[in-house]
Structure 1
Amino acid sequence: MSMAVSTSAPHPPGSGAGPAAPTFSLADYVVFVLLLVLSLAIGLYHACRGWGRHTVGQLLMADRKMSCLPVALSLLATFQSAVAILGVPSEIYRFGTQYWFLGCSYLLGLLIPAHIFIPIFYRLRLTSAYEYLELRFNKAVRVCGTVTFILQMVIYTGVVLYAPSLALNAVTGFDLWLSVLTIGVVCAVYTALGGLKAVIWTDVFQTLVMFLGQLAVIIVGSAKVGGLGRVWEVASQHNLTSGIELDPDPFVRHTFWTLAFGGVFMMLSLYGVNQAQVQRYLSSRTETAAVLSCYAVFPCQQVVLCMGCLIGLVMFSYYQEYPMSPQQSQAAPDQFVLYFVMDLLKGLPGLPGLFVACLFSGSLSTLSSSFNSLATVTMEDLIRPWFPAFSEAQATMLSKALAFGYGLLCLGMAYVSSQMGSVLQAALSVFGMVGGPLLGLFCLGIFFPCANSPGAVTGLLAGLVMAFWIGIGSIVTSMGSGSAPVPPNGSSFSLPSNLTVPLTTLMPAVTRSRPTGLQLFYSLSYMWYSAHNSTTVIVVGLLVSVLTGGMRDRDLDPRTIYPVLSHLLALLPLSCQKRLSCRSDGRDLPMDTEVFPEKMSNGIFRGSQDKEVMAMNAESISPTFILQETSL
């Protein structure tokens, strides 16, 4: 597939016929191979340790004994893929520093999982996040959520495996399918044999490699252009530095509101309800360790974002002083960063290999997390409920086979990606399209006690339809328009063919005139996709739930609910709390965070029960919860 399809672009002043594309030296190959060998060694170490005594709990949940720091670094690495490492600097180079404000979304995007999702999931002692959906709704909702997640991750991991290898092949001549096969097989082997503990500890190692690779580029690049002060000065002179853009228009691609608040929903879909992340929370030895690991991700995410943005600024400053090669002037955005790194680090043996190791560390961490989480949900949600008679040894062997099998399946998806051409953009966008509806499904269950299973299934389907409608529509529209924004330095680029926007979905092309009608609908900023799609699930789910009788005559486990209104009422004066309380005696009911009673007689309330009986059965259930439940 051709990655650079644009016509020849004008070069920066002083550029001429640049040098030939750089190639790897022996030292670079050694550094790159060392990454693969050490990753495999870590996985095999955990596989051999206790060989023959592994249980399903050890393979899938690391025996629930992981400490805070490795879990935090693994959380960071899971979605810090090569897509982000290549995409963020390219974004900054082409459009300026507005994207940096995404860091504002990290606070709420991590605080909400830490204080709402983690306590609920951890206290329920889940293995798969989709077990929650059966506890809250029924088995059909659980299966729908699981199948949706599998679809999301299989397509995404195929692209994550293929696209960086393709970019590397185009820039360095590194054999495309050899790198795809090597990365896929190595990752599948250590994930299948070592389980979640191997995945987490290899993530720790790969995170350090990612930090070192990006740091090397920043240090060498800033030194060549006169320091970070000079970098910022050049960026300011060319209007690359962005102020706070307070335009509330959701159809503007990047504004402060789009990034700071639309980004919150993107973060929640990644760090709140995605199985790959939830599985790490649940592997922690205590709930406190799980919450602290989520806290620890916040500064790490800020550092990673800053490093990606600085690479983009350094790259811009560098090409104001040094000529750009003809290959790079015609490159697609996903290749551009690699051309820059190979140009910058030439003559420094080992450093280009370190950055390539950094790039593939991102891919390895994402792939291993995907393989492990896919094996977990398949085992726990689709196999064990139907075959409960499996022995521990059989379940363990099947879990290993599933992890390895998903590795081979993603190798197949990588081949499919190579045949997809421009549709590759749509494949990578699936991750963002599906994440929003899944977030909406969990929020429907957690925050709305009146929601029932028909509402959940209908809401999820409506959210997926809306997600694919907007997502595919925006891609087709942008491909049809054929227009792309002009970078600040005047160079032109082809339309992105895969890795343009990090983590979730690709941007729609920016048109030169404001669209109308459906065109306007399709031009919704990609940062609002998760918010829009999750809201669709909630609204449709609540409407259907009300029309089908809510939770009347249905079982409701109070441990699956987070009583938002009771926490808000706790901010009111005591007299207001008593007036809003449903207790006939007017006594103040507890309204703290202890919403998971452990001394209930049966652990489940029925929607048809009298509210006074419910209050006696669970003193710690908030009055708001009872009011909402009995009002339907």
Structure 2
Amino acid sequence: MGEIVQMQFSTVDYVIFALLLVASAGIGLFYAFYGGRQRTTQEFLMADRSMSLLPVSLSLLASFQSAVSILGEPSEVYTFGTQYWFLGCSYFLGLLIPAHIFIPIFYRLRLSSAYEYLELRFNKTVRICGTVTFIFQMVIYMGVVLYAPALALNVVTGFDLWGAVLAMGLVCTLYTALGGLKAVMWTDVFQTMVMFVGQLAVIIVGASQAGGIGEVWRKATNGSRISGLDLNPDPTERHTFWTLGVGGIFMMLALYGVNQAQVQRYLSARSEKEAVMSCYVVFPCQQIVLCLGCLMGLVMFARYGEDSPLDKGYVKTNDQMVLYFVMDVFRDLPGLPGLFVACLFSGALSTISSAFNSLATVTMEDLIKPYFPNMTEAKATLMSKGLALSYGLVCLAMAYLASLMGSVLQAALSIFGMVGGPLLGLFCLGIFFPWANSIGALVGLFTGLAMAFWIGIGSMMMRMSASTAAPLLNTTALPLFENMTTAVMTTLVQPRPTGVEALYSLSYMWYSAHNSTTVVLVGLIVSFLTGPMKEKELTPGTVFPVLGTLLFFLPERYREKLCCVTPLTPKPKEISTQPYLMAKKDSNGAAHCKEDSVASSSPPTTQTVQETSL
């Protein structure tokens, strides 16, 4: 590609980027003053449980379709080929299971925070531990997702780094703190459209410059970038069908099943049916997004071949390569680089605003309301807005810390992946295993977290020592790609690891599966040793009745000990439906919010009320 070209934004590019920020802020202001008023916590945190299918679906898609994945997926495919596309196979079960198991349970219990479930199922201690773990997970990630795209933009185009960080952080804080969940979800819809248009523009222009899609495919095939089905069962292999298609299911469950940012969107839907349908709508959208990322990577390969901008020293990391490619393709087309950067920052804005809102919700519902049950609705709403604003400022502080981290950015992403798996395991323990008790849940969670950090940190240390020992080895810094749970790992060309090293070499795609399984197994063993829960001790509607069906071959006395003799009798069905019917009769926000806080602070009372109503 010859000598380095100094990439610069034109005035039109700056205008398009500014329009994105203005439009996002405008939606927030509309819902703050006209569209929803945000006078109650139900309006501010839950969008008054009135959202239709379209905003719920696109917001689910946008929440974790971050700038990290827009930058990372194409460079992953450019470097390693299309094997990554097989992640799409995990989307089917990864969305079907939440649709038919997690959503009905959460929706019928009329929760505001996913962690309220943990108190209803176990006790308040488990709930607080789950909440604190989630807050730690999201705060660590927020700064990274704000700083990483701004840094890539700064390196490639000279775009002012802290100007971009502050503009994004402040606009995002403004519309989240003023407009609440309704503003977050409608800006997600707008930002999703911008993301699609930006990526499509790059693919269309890039492919036409390369001689058409047929020529792109031919060059990719000749360059061995079109991958076949790799059925290698080795869990230390970074990407195979099994790591992506099966390990990816657990990654998707951690995101779409139990993550507060997504659960909140399900619970904001007008009806349970629309919440379930949103998962079905997200499925083809996720496939389209994945295909766009893969196509962009192939178009990049058709343009540069094996002679990448990274090898030439035009950029420092894979994450900057996509932006360099976009600026290169759009060099003579003013306005289009601005469109792609708007696309990139739309991904960042949608992810960060989801984080702000979900963090404000769990802090309010799990850490404040239970201890101040008599707080007035006006004061609770004002405090929720203050929390959203505070988390916005925390995000800016985390972005500054991310700038000091340097290479530790990858560690921050890895931490996010490490925490997602144990939280998934904690919810699965409660939902699928009736005899699991609170002691088992706590010991399981802490064991899962300890295991996750042990493997994650051990893996990073092993790679660092290997790269120090062999500096001439070609170690490619992998992209920060696809969804927040990816704990990004590099694969070195080295002998097959054994013993503990084999555990450290586990593909990052198996992290969620390994860590959630650890929580479930340890939780079940500890529950048996400390006295399993009895069926009569369970809060109605908190367990999904799958064990009774799976263990049909056992004698009834054993099934009774496992607390799964009567999984699908009319009584539990009535109980699980009751909160939903009550909610339909009383959905005026303030009154329901007070009822929620009472229920969440005293699960036995909830159970008693439900049983009495029967």
TM-score, length-normalised on structure 1? 0.87
Deviates more, 1:414-423 or 1:209-218: 414-423
Give unmatched runs, 5+ long, in structure 1. Answer: 1-14, 487-491, 605-616, 621-632
Q: How many residues align?
A: 579
Deviation digits for residues 53-73 of structure 1 (CA, Å, limit 9, x no counterpart): 611000000000001111000
d(CA) in 1 for partners of 2:578 and 2:443? 33
The reply to whether residue 314 of structure 1 matches residue 291 of structure 2 is no
Contact 2:548 2:559 in 1 (8 A): no
Contact 2:69 2:483 in 1 (8 A): yes
Aligned residue in 2 for 1:431: 416
Deviation digits for residues 472-517 of structure 1 (CA, Å, limit 9, x no counterpart): 111121122229999xxxxx97642873565322123333321222
d(CA) in 2 for partners of 1:132 and 1:415? 35
d(CA) in 1 for partners of 2:7 and 2:223? 29
Aligned residue in 2 for 1:387: 372
> Tell me, what secondary structure is at the counterpart of 1:482?
helix
d(CA) in 1 for partners of 2:211 and 2:42? 53
The reply to whether residue 559 of structure 1 matches residue 559 of structure 2 is no
Contact 1:328 1:339 in 2 (8 A): no
* CA separation of 1:269 and 1:111: change in aligned 2, threshold 3 A: same
TM superposition shift of 1:530? 0.1
The reply to whether residue 546 of structure 1 matches residue 528 of structure 2 is yes
d(CA) in 2 for partners of 1:599 and 1:88? 41
Deviation digits for residues 333-380 of structure 1 (CA, Å, limit 9, x no counterpart): 110111001001111111000000000000000000000000000000
Aligned residue in 2 for 1:596: 573
Query: Which of 25, 37, 53 in structure 2 is aligned with 1:40?
Result: 25
Aligned residue in 1 for 2:510: 528
* CA separation of 1:471 and 1:323: change in aligned 2, threshold 3 A: closer
The reply to whether residue 111 of structure 1 matches residue 96 of structure 2 is yes
d(CA) in 2 for partners of 1:593 and 1:339? 61
Query: Which of 54, 72, 75 in structure 1 is aligned with 2:57?
Result: 72
Contact 2:422 2:445 in 1 (8 A): yes
Aligned residue in 2 for 1:503: 484
* CA separation of 1:53 and 1:438: change in aligned 2, threshold 3 A: closer
* CA separation of 1:589 and 1:332: change in aligned 2, threshold 3 A: closer
Contact 2:121 2:542 in 1 (8 A): yes
> Tell me, what secondary structure is at the counterpart of 2:573?
coil
The reply to whether residue 298 of structure 1 matches residue 283 of structure 2 is yes
> Tell me, what secondary structure is at the counterpart of 1:49?
helix
d(CA) in 2 for partners of 1:110 and 1:529? 19
The amino acid of 1:150's aligned partner reads I
d(CA) in 1 for partners of 2:235 and 2:439? 31
Give unmatched runs, 5+ long, in structure 2. Answer: 580-598, 600-610
The amino acid of 2:135's aligned partner reads I
Q: 1:408-427 counterparts in 2 under 5 A?
A: 408-427=393-412
* CA separation of 1:120 and 1:527: change in aligned 2, threshold 3 A: same
* CA separation of 1:46 and 1:601: change in aligned 2, threshold 3 A: closer
> Tell me, what secondary structure is at the counterpart of 2:244?
helix
Query: Which of 433, 446, 468 in structure 1 is aligned with 2:453?
Result: 468
d(CA) in 2 for partners of 1:545 and 1:325? 52
d(CA) in 1 for partners of 2:123 and 2:236? 38
Aligned residue in 1 for 2:341: 356
* CA separation of 1:494 and 1:213: change in aligned 2, threshold 3 A: farther
TM-score, length-normalised on structure 2? 0.89
**Higher helix proportion (structure 1 or 2):** 2
* CA separation of 1:45 and 1:599: change in aligned 2, threshold 3 A: closer
d(CA) in 2 for partners of 1:497 and 1:92? 11
TM superposition shift of 1:598? 2.7
* CA separation of 1:70 and 1:114: change in aligned 2, threshold 3 A: same
The amino acid of 1:439's aligned partner reads L
Q: 1:320-339 counterparts in 2 under 5 A?
A: 320=305, 324=309, 329-339=314-324
The amino acid of 2:194's aligned partner reads V
The reply to whether residue 452 of structure 1 matches residue 428 of structure 2 is no
* CA separation of 1:528 and 1:53: change in aligned 2, threshold 3 A: closer
The amino acid of 1:361's aligned partner reads S
d(CA) in 2 for partners of 1:393 and 1:430? 37
The reply to whether residue 285 of structure 1 matches residue 267 of structure 2 is no
Deviates more, 1:248-257 or 1:508-517: 508-517
TM superposition shift of 1:287? 0.1
d(CA) in 1 for partners of 2:412 and 2:556? 53
> Tell me, what secondary structure is at the counterpart of 1:514?
coil
* CA separation of 1:73 and 1:560: change in aligned 2, threshold 3 A: same
* Structure index of larger Rg: 1
* CA separation of 1:601 and 1:203: change in aligned 2, threshold 3 A: closer
Deviation digits for residues 260-284 of structure 1 (CA, Å, limit 9, x no counterpart): 0000000000000000000000000
* CA separation of 1:91 and 1:497: change in aligned 2, threshold 3 A: closer
TM superposition shift of 1:590? 8.2
TM superposition shift of 1:431? 1.1
d(CA) in 1 for partners of 2:355 and 2:371? 23
> Tell me, what secondary structure is at the counterpart of 2:370?
coil
The amino acid of 1:506's aligned partner reads V
Contact 1:484 1:495 in 2 (8 A): no
The amino acid of 1:499's aligned partner reads L
* CA separation of 1:304 and 1:500: change in aligned 2, threshold 3 A: closer
Aligned residue in 1 for 2:120: 135
The amino acid of 2:368's aligned partner reads I
* CA separation of 1:163 and 1:563: change in aligned 2, threshold 3 A: same
Deviation digits for residues 600-628 of structure 1 (CA, Å, limit 9, x no counterpart): 999x9xxxxxxxxxxxx89x9xxxxxxxx
